[in-house]
Amino acid sequence: MPNGGERGPQTERRRWIAWIAWIALPLLIACAGNDPATQIERAGSWAATTRELAIERRVGAIGRAYTADLLDAGGREVQMIQQSLKPSELPESIRSRVPIAVGRLDSVIANTGSAVRRGDVVALGMAAADANALSDTLRVLRAALVGK
């Protein structure tokens, strides 16, 4: 008759460790990914997102609440990137330019957010252009970091 029987404590312990590792490790790492190249790429993604949000909001294709909320979220993400960036990890050539670009992105996102809340179509257009420029800048900076 099938019966589990007694298992040695070592096997038991190993089994529990395997279970915990199987769950905990992926969980732990779901929040990782902090090298500079990835950070710059994510900042670039938010610049592109901001641009797209401004463009679509300007023509009324997307909702006001949606746009404002996502811009807020993006602002928080960019601020986190700003704080976690370590200039020492960046090469000389771009060491000063990256924090400046990310800092500018933070204010562009904030401006876009207030333009959305005011319903200022003109400001949205300008914000889109700013975000576009930053998106390009960040792309170049990342290429410089990775290409070397």
Partner 1 sequence: MKRILDLTLGIVTSIGGFLEAGSIITAVQAGAVFGYKLLWTIALGTLGLMLLVEQSGRLAAVTGRTVGDALRERFGINFFILPLATGLLVSFLVLASEIGGVALALQMATGISFQWWAMPVAFAGWFLLWKGTFGIVEKGSSFLGLVTIVFVVAALKLHPDWGRVGSGLLPTVPDHDGPRYWYIAVSIIGASISPYLYMFYSSGAVEDGWGTDDLNTNKATAVLGMSFGGVLSAAVLIIAALVFLPRGIQVDRYEQAGLLLPPVLGHSGFVLFLASLGIACFGATTEITLAMAYLLAQGLGWDWSENAKPKQNARFSLTYTVTILLAGVVMAAGIDPLKLTNFSMMLTAASLPVTVIPMFVLMNDEALVGEHRNRWFSNAALGALSIVTIVVLFSAVPLQILGGS
Partner 2 sequence: MELRIVHDLLDKVVLDEQRRNVGRVDGVVLELRRGGAPVVSAFEIGGRVWARRLGGRVARWAVALGRRWPALGNGVTRFAMRDVRTIGITVSVKCDGRPTPALAWENWLREHVISRLPGA
What is the pattern of x (binds partner 1, CB under 8 A) and - over residues 6-35?
Answer: ---------------xxx-xxx-xxxxx--
135 contact choice in partner 2, partner 1, none (CB below 5 to 8 Å, kind-dependent): partner 1
Q: How many CA atoms lie within 13 A of 106 on its CB side?
A: 14
Closest CA to 45 of 123, 105, 122: 105
Size of the site for partner 1 (CB under 8 A): 42
Rounded to the nearest whole angstrom, what is the least distance from the CB of residue 132 to partner 1 in the complex?
A: 10
Smallest CA-to-CA distance from 81 within 30, 124, 125, 47 is with 47
> Binding string, 2-41, against partner 2, x = CB under 8 A?
xxxxxx----x-----------------------------
Cα end-to-end distance, the chain, whole Å: 66
The residues, ordered by sequence, that sit 6+ positions from 75 with a Cβ below 8 Å of its Cβ are: 106, 109, 110, 113
Q: What residue type is assigned to position 19 of the chain?
A: W
Build a one-symbol-per-residue string for 87-116: x at contacts with partner 1 by CB under 8 A, - elsewhere: ------------------------------
Q: How far is the CB of 4 from partner 2 (least distance, A)?
A: 2
